[in-house]
Amino acid sequence: VPELPEVETIRRRLAERIVGKTIQSVEIHREKSFQGNGLLITNQTIQAVSRRAKILQLRFSDNLLLLVHLKMTGQLILLQADGNRVGGGHPTADWVENLPAKHTRVTIQFTDGDRLFFNDQRVFGWLKVADATQAAAEFAQYGPDINDPSFTANEFVKKLSKTRVPTKLAILNSALVAGIGNIYACDALNLAQISPFKPANTLTETEAVRLFSACQTVIQRGIELQGTTFDGKYVDVAGFAGGYQNEALAYGRAGQPCKNCGELIKKTQQAGRGTYFCPHCQH
């Protein structure tokens, strides 16, 4: 599942290359994957590529946006006229196979010959043409982004103090704070040396502040390493793969020593998802 660092990585890769490009056509291969009127963005020029939570925003004039949510299995691939390709998202053979591929749901053709492909095996992801009001409605469900510079430790501490759910589930709740997915939640809790099971409202203020800082640290590290690519078949695909998997603190490391204390990392389940933790320093 692409998390914030993976989506931010795609944003940066695309922003370098597609700002200033004009859309010639939008070809929708699967109706479910595209909402709104594609003609509204046809002949429009991309002015910026931004991100809020895990949603990418291609910005056009008059506050018109194309929102992109990769959900579980989405990918974006820019195929340049010279054959070069960049992108990211869920790692599959479509990163390297001919495009459009079997799972291509939308193709955006630019006037200069470049093409942007939205591939999505499981078809939970979407592209949505939105005006400012529609975009605001989309984002109303999200708490502040964990790496938003205006989001303070004090606000984070207050939010955690109001929920009794296990701390890991609290920080995974995007209505409380956006952008912390399973990989980075496990690692932030390990870095902060806090039990994922401890009810959020029982953390001391010191612990909650430490967790806030740890969340920002692991997310920032994920962005620096251009995200996480766990599927071994695709870890070397240039222009796509990330490197955070090589530095993960707890996630995916069951049976390996905790980088803080040496005790073996354990794996269990919380709300149907894998929780990796150190039974010693996250007691």
Beta bridge partners of 44: none
- Kindly state the number of chain residues that form the binding site for Zn ion, as judged by CB under 5 A: 7
Complex with Zn ion: residue 10 or 278, whichever CB lies closer: 278
Report which of 219, 262, 267, 268 is spatially closest to residue 244, judged by C-alpha positions.
Answer: 219
Specify whether 6 is catalytic. Answer: no
Complex with Zn ion: residue 64 or 249, whichever CB lies closer: 249
Beta-carbon contacts of 236 under 8 Å, excluding residues fewer than 6 positions away, are none
Q: Which stretch in 43-51, 56-64, 128-136, 270-278 sits in contact with Zn ion by CB under 5 A? A: 270-278
**What is the CB neighbour count within 10 angstroms for residue 141?**
10
Specify whether 149 is catalytic. Answer: no
Interface map 246-265 toward Zn ion (x if CB under 5 A): ------------x-xx-x--
Smallest gap, in angstroms, from Cβ of residue 260 to Zn ion?
A: 4
By CB under 5 A, tell whether 266 contacts Zn ion. no
Specify whether 2 is catalytic. Answer: yes
Please, are residues 159 and 142 in contact by the beta-carbon 8 Å criterion?
no
Q: Which of 77, 186, 200, 281 binds Zn ion (CB under 5 A)?
A: 281
Complex with Zn ion: residue 267 or 280, whichever CB lies closer: 280
Beta bridge partners of 270: 273
By CB under 5 A, tell whether 280 contacts Zn ion. yes
Q: Which of 41, 192, 194, 278 binds Zn ion (CB under 5 A)?
A: 278
By CB under 5 A, tell whether 189 contacts Zn ion. no
Smallest gap, in angstroms, from Cβ of residue 281 to Zn ion?
A: 3
d(C-alpha 161, C-alpha 155), whole Å: 10
Smallest gap, in angstroms, from Cβ of residue 72 to Zn ion?
A: 30
My answer on whether omega of the bond before 5 falls inside 30° of 0, hence cis, is no
- Looking at this protein, which amino acid is placed at residue 213? S
**What is the CB neighbour count within 10 angstroms for residue 206?**
9
Nearest 10 degrees: CA dihedral of 191, 2, 23, 107?
170
Smallest gap, in angstroms, from Cβ of residue 278 to Zn ion?
A: 3
Please, are residues 66 and 48 in contact by the beta-carbon 8 Å criterion?
no
Specify whether 263 is catalytic. Answer: no
Beta bridge partners of 124: none
Q: Which stretch in 17-25, 77-85, 240-248, 274-282 sits in contact with Zn ion by CB under 5 A? A: 274-282
Report which of 5, 191, 173, 22 is spatially closest to residue 89, judged by C-alpha positions.
Answer: 5
Complex with Zn ion: residue 12 or 259, whichever CB lies closer: 259
Q: Which of 11, 51, 54, 85 is catalytic?
A: 54
Binding site for Zn ion (CB under 5 A): 258, 260-261, 263, 278, 280-281
Query: Which residues are catalytically annotated?
Result: 2-3, 54, 273
